[in-house]
Structure 1
Amino acid sequence: MRVLHVISEMGAGGAEAVVAGMVRSGGDFGWESGVASGGGHRAEALRAQRVPTYDLPVARRRATGVLRAVAAARRAIRGFRPDVVLAHNVSASLVSRLAAGRTPVVSVFHGVAETDVRGAARILRRTSRAVVAVADASASLLRARGVAVEVIPNAVFAEPPRVHRGAIRGLLGLGPDVPVALCPARLEPQKRHDVLLEAWTLVAGAVLLLAGDGSLRAELELLAEELGVADRVRFLGTRCDVPDLLEATDVTVLTSDWEGMPIAVLESLAAGRPVVASDVDGVREVLSGGGGVLVPRRDPKAAAAALAKFLFDSNARAAAAEAGRAAVERDHDPHTQMKKYDELLRTTVGGRR
């Protein structure tokens, strides 16, 4: 079965990690995979592995941008000749449907802001032969708006760290005993780094690593200065070495306003790192089995208290690490995820759906 993944970009995000993992594992299920995207380090890595990759400009919310993306997607489909297109997220689904002709399109809904759900549902109803949600919470939002959805939870295609804890801490200028928190998230409004920085004013004696870049970087750097925490916060920019950063870390934190089922959380649990996260959407599903602490949205005091618990209490860290690893192994196994996708896509290609 020839599967063409269509996605806006193949950089450091969670959906991109899912695509890269599915492409690497697809051969075990008889897939021949290709990827059409706006590029990024994961696309370059796949290209080096001789995976067919195609350039696809990001479809901005303007007609000219969508038309350019559709033209590029049509070239990719003609070149790769897939049996099915697997479109990741809403804009990719729209572009794929306009370009695919008779080739079926299956959409993977990784999540959108609550204000965008109605529009997303309308597009998915009209573009997709089948729709997959990565979390029960996301599926419920779509079903309430008349979209038939199958839930296939995200899995973590774990990559081992390339260097040991002491070495990566040395490269980051961190002492061997300093408590470290990591926030692996784009510097965009959804992720609410402002809440995290306010929480950090209540956590003394530790360092916060912000791995990601985005439109709010300058504003957040200024806020860190104003709050008096700039000397304890490191803006690392976009990173391709998250497994190494996790090796250097004691706890991971996400103070987002909304999430689907973030791969950053799954990667952290698989690495034995407890997670402090906002009590939202798919994060609640992941952490319900242990592995961390959920805190109310936009509550810096609650986030600070949970961070301090894991930063300074080794027993709490160890207990959460054990629970988190068990939850990932039980509920987010890559083979189980791929088997479900394989069954869905083959049914779709066979025309019985």
Structure 2
Amino acid sequence: MRVVATDAWFHHRPSGWRRRGPITVLKVLNRMERSGIHPGAVNLLRRLDQDEFRLLFAVTSGAAGAFDGEIRALGGEVYHCRADWRFPWSFLRLLRQVRPDVVQAEVVQADVTILSGVVLALARLGGVRRRVAYLADAPDRHGDSLGGRVRRIVGRLLLDRFATHLVAVSEAVMRGLWRENWRLDSRCRVIYHGVELEPVGVAIAARRRAEELAEDDQELVTIVHVACPDSAKSRDRAVEILAALRGRSVNARLLFVGRQDAAETARLVALASRRGVADHVEFIGEVLEIPRLLVAASLLLVTSRHEGLTGIVLEACAVGTPVLCADLPGVDEIARLLPGVTILPLRISDAVWADTAEMLTAVPPTIDQRREAMRLLRRSPFTMEHWQRDITAVWS
């Protein structure tokens, strides 16, 4: 018997049909963790009107995530649907169970573009009319290797065939993962990530109180590096820059923030010991209140080889903390609209990076400058209000 894939396979909508109840959105992603686009997705869930949108998550790693409990407490749900040989059947069963109006496949790594295409193909088979490819990472980390080219070609063919909408977190990501002439495709839209401004205001107010009480060592330069364990984040480069900076008699320390991997941590500790800065490197793990961390920092250091939009840069801009960042295309778009971002190529020597860091941290921002930074971000497209409005318009 031949199965015919029609939009009515799971959803029979008779003439005169009208929606009753919220729009159900099933977001499919690799895992839920406190980095990348995931905290923003949970912030969006907090803001959504449950009478209008029901937000569900399907996790293809099969692993429990840091936000699972909070998502359920907010009225959402997390389904663990491992991407193995049984995935097509288990995902189709999930579609029958939750009957989503929208399936959104999150392309958080170029490696999983094919999986995202498969997800949208299965959604089409399952009768889901609105199928969104959400492009959230930089171009393929495999570059021009044969395997990388094959993955890009197959992934784009699948997305081209089965996506009804293509949303990217930046123009650079849209060009890199989709096409240079993306503006000619009516399905394509760039929607920037948004920053929640209320925690930013609270963090700046707390910083003002700390300064009034003289609680901080004004001579200490605190450099923050926020990332998950991944060779593309170049965490070892941050240690080298710290060593070069302390070689200039700058009283600096480096805080590594984010999920830790035992092997990577041991390697970074060994490197710091060889460079003579082991006493000035701290690993503080995942942090819930990122704005408070950033507003107390002297500098945000970003040494990644590739990123999508780099939300942590937006959060630093919101609190007025200087940013020293590798030349990432998505960050170029932020720097065009917001001040406080200095960009250097990774190929430039550690000495130049250290010189620039010393210059950026010589005069700490005042509270008034931090407040102005928050006002500038509020007037930019990088707010949660803009993100919520634009992404719900796609779902609707």
TM-score class normalised by the smaller sequence: 0.7 to 0.9
Show CA shifts across 1:186-238 (max 9, x none).
Answer: 13111111222111112230111111224633222221111111111112233
**In 1, Cα distance between equivalents of 2:359 and 2:273:** 25
The residue that corresponds to 2:102 in the other structure is 84
The residue that corresponds to 1:155 in the other structure is 194
Contact 2:139-2:173 within 8 A present in 1 as well: no
The TM-score with structure 1 as length reference comes to 0.83
The residue that corresponds to 2:253 in the other structure is 207
Superposition pairs for residues 100-119 of structure 1, below 5 Å? 100=123, 101-103=126-128, 104-114=130-140, 115=143, 116=148, 118-119=152-153
The residue that corresponds to 2:173 in the other structure is 138
The residue that corresponds to 1:62 in the other structure is none
Q: Which amino acid aligns with 2:361?
A: L
The residue that corresponds to 1:277 in the other structure is 325
SS of residue matched to 1:312:
coil
Query: Structure 1's 154 and 201: CA in aligned 2 closer, same or farther, altered over 3 A?
Result: same
Q: Which amino acid aligns with 1:140?
A: R
Q: Which amino acid aligns with 2:340?
A: G
Query: Structure 1's 130 and 42: CA in aligned 2 closer, same or farther, altered over 3 A?
Result: same
**In 2, Cα distance between equivalents of 1:229 and 1:194:** 12
- Number of aligned positions between the proteins: 335
Which structure has the larger Rg over C-alpha atoms?
A: 2
SS of residue matched to 2:320:
coil
The residue that corresponds to 2:3 in the other structure is none
Query: Structure 1's 21 and 202: CA in aligned 2 closer, same or farther, altered over 3 A?
Result: same
User: Which of 212, 227, 235 lines up with 1:193 in the alignment?
Assistant: 235
The residue that corresponds to 1:39 in the other structure is 64
Greater helix content: 1
User: Which of 16, 26, 49 lines up with 1:27 in the alignment?
Assistant: 49
Q: CA deviation at 1:323?
A: 4.5
Superposition pairs for residues 176-255 of structure 1, below 5 Å? 176-177=217-218, 178-203=220-245, 204-212=250-258, 213-214=260-261, 216-255=264-303
Q: CA deviation at 1:124?
A: 2.6
Structure 2: unaligned runs, 5 residues or longer:
1-22, 108-112
**In 2, Cα distance between equivalents of 1:198 and 1:167:** 34
The residue that corresponds to 1:341 in the other structure is 391
Residue 94 (str. 1) matches residue 117 (str. 2)? yes
Contact 1:134-1:260 within 8 A present in 2 as well: yes
Q: What is the aligned-residue identity percentage?
A: 25
Q: CA deviation at 1:340?
A: 1.9
User: Which of 344, 354, 361 lines up with 1:295 in the alignment?
Assistant: 344
